Amino acid sequence: MDVPWESEKSAWDKLSLLPPEEVCPRAEVTYHPIEGFYRVKFFSSYLLVSLKDRSITEVAMEMPLWSKVKNGGSLVVLHYLLRARNIPFTCELINPLSLPGGEIYRTGYHVLPLDKVATRYATDLTGFLAKGKSLHGHPLAFGDASFMLRPLPRIAVAFVLWLENGEFPARVSLLVDSSVKEQLPPDILWLALMMCVTLVQE
């Protein structure tokens, strides 16, 4: 059964009550008690999640990312801190459709716009790999090019590109480590995957 996701206010309320010594090992983050914030790895950046101000700000190591995804991203980060589990990756990459509740990805606004990513990189293998590298992605050996992203420490998302050729158009697949079902509820995971698609597409 899916766990109902929290509103942003409710998520802040609950997070403020959790002991940092319980949150940090679960979510693989650090807590800074004097300033009152969690430091969370976010792609190639870090986020400072302030319990005092109830705000999320970015420490950009290379290029700013948070401003591009923060509208839905705040819920993702808060739910991650509330629900993340200290379990290893399975290293089994699956289509999100295969996850519990994954039927949401089949129709309507939950369909991930991977066609736009395919159009963006239809003949640009170098650009695709460069984008993955800029987000601290690790190359994989699938398709014509592929990489694994870590939007948050215990979330792993892979993009696989097949370039267009004379017979077939370009195509992009998105896969997740199967452990993700233990980390985020379906609707919040969809927001996390949309963050990934947005940053890869731009």
Q: What is the pTM of this model?
A: 0.92
Residue 79 has pLDDT above 80, yes or no: yes
pLDDT tens for residues 158-189? 999 999 998 899 999 999 999 999 999 988 99
pLDDT score for 9: 92
Q: Residue 89's pLDDT band (boundaries 50, 70, 90)?
A: very high
Within 8 A by CB and 6+ apart from 183, the residues are 80, 83, 84, 85, 154, 155, 189
Query: What domains are there in the chain, each with its CATH number?
Result: 8-83 (3.30.310), 93-201 (3.30.310)
157 and 176 in contact (C-beta within 8 Å)?
A: yes
Per-chain mean pLDDT for the chain: 93
Q: Which of 48, 46, 54 is nearest to 31 (CA)?
A: 48
pLDDT score for 141: 96
pLDDT tens for residues 10-68? 999 999 999 999 999 999 999 999 999 999 999 999 999 999 999 999 997 778 999 99
